[in-house]
Chains A and B, each alone.
Chain A
Amino acid sequence: MTELRRIWIVVWKDALTERRTKAAFNAMAFFAGLVLLIFAFAIGPDIPVSGPAGQGLLEYIAPGLLWVAILLTGVLALGRSFQVEMENGALEGLRLYPGDRRAIGAGKIIANVLTLVAMEALVVPIAGILYSIDLWSKLPALAGVFLLATLGFAAVGTFYAALTANLRAREVMLPLLLFPVMVPVVLAAVKATFLVLNGDLMGELSAWVRLLVVFDAVFVTVCTLAFGFVLEE
Chain B
Amino acid sequence: MANTRLVDRVGTASGTLAILLLAVGLYLGLAVAPPDFQMGDVYRIFYIHLPSWFGVALAYLTSFVASILYLFKRQPRFDQWALAGAEVGVVFNITGLITGSLWGRPTWGVYWTWDPRLTTTAIMLVTFAGYLVLRGFLEDPEARARVSALVAIVGFFNVPIVYYSVKWWRTLHQQPSSPNTVDASMVTPLRVMGFAFLCLCTYLMCRRYALAEAESAAEREDLQMGVANG
Contacts and interface: CB of A to CB of B under 8 A. Distances in A.
Interface residues of A, number: 33
A168 interface: yes
A91 to B, nearest CB: 13
Nearest to A186: B165
B130 A163 contact: no
B150 A230 contact: yes
B151 interface: yes
A159 B154 contact: yes
A176 interface: yes
Could you say which of A169, A176, A180 has the most chain B C-beta atoms within 10 Å of its C-beta? A180
Contacts of A229: 71, 146, 149-150
Contacts, number: 78
Given A177-B130, A184-B161, A215-B161, A163 B168 contact: no
Contact of B143 (A166, A187, A214): A166
B71 A156 contact: no
A57 B196 CA distance: 51
Contacts of B71: 229
Interface in B123-171: 123, 126-127, 130, 133-134, 137-138, 143, 146-147, 149-151, 153-155, 157-158, 161-162, 164-166, 168-169
B137 A181 contact: no
A146 B153 CA distance: 27
A166 B165 CA distance: 32
Interface string B110-123: 00000000010001
B161 A163 contact: no
B123 A211 contact: no
18 contacts: A156-B154, A160-B151, A164-B134, A173-B130, A173-B133, A176-B133, A177-B151, A181-B127, A181-B154, A181-B158, A183-B123, A183-B165, A184-B161, A184-B162, A188-B165, A211-B168, A214-B161, A218-B157
Interface residues of B, number: 28
Given A177-B151, A229-B150, A222 B162 contact: no
Nearest to A204: B168
Nearest to B71: A229
B147 A163 contact: yes
B151 A180 contact: no
A167 interface: yes
A181 B150 contact: no
A218 to B, nearest CB: 7
Nearest to B148: A163
Interface of B: 71, 119, 123, 126-127, 130, 133-134, 137-138, 143, 146-147, 149-151, 153-155, 157-158, 161-162, 164-166, 168-169
Given A183-B119, A183-B162, A208-B168, 20 more contacts: A156-B154, A160-B151, A163-B150, A167-B137, A173-B133, A173-B134, A176-B126, A180-B123, A180-B126, A180-B130, A183-B166, A184-B165, A211-B168, A218-B157, A219-B154, A222-B157, A223-B154, A229-B149, A229-B150, A232-B146
Nearest to A190: B169
A80 interface: no
Contacts of A207: 168
Interface in A117-156: 156
Interface in A179-223: 179-181, 183-184, 187-188, 191, 207-208, 211, 214-215, 218-219, 222-223
A226 B119 CA distance: 27
B79 to A, nearest CB: 13
A25 B157 CA distance: 32
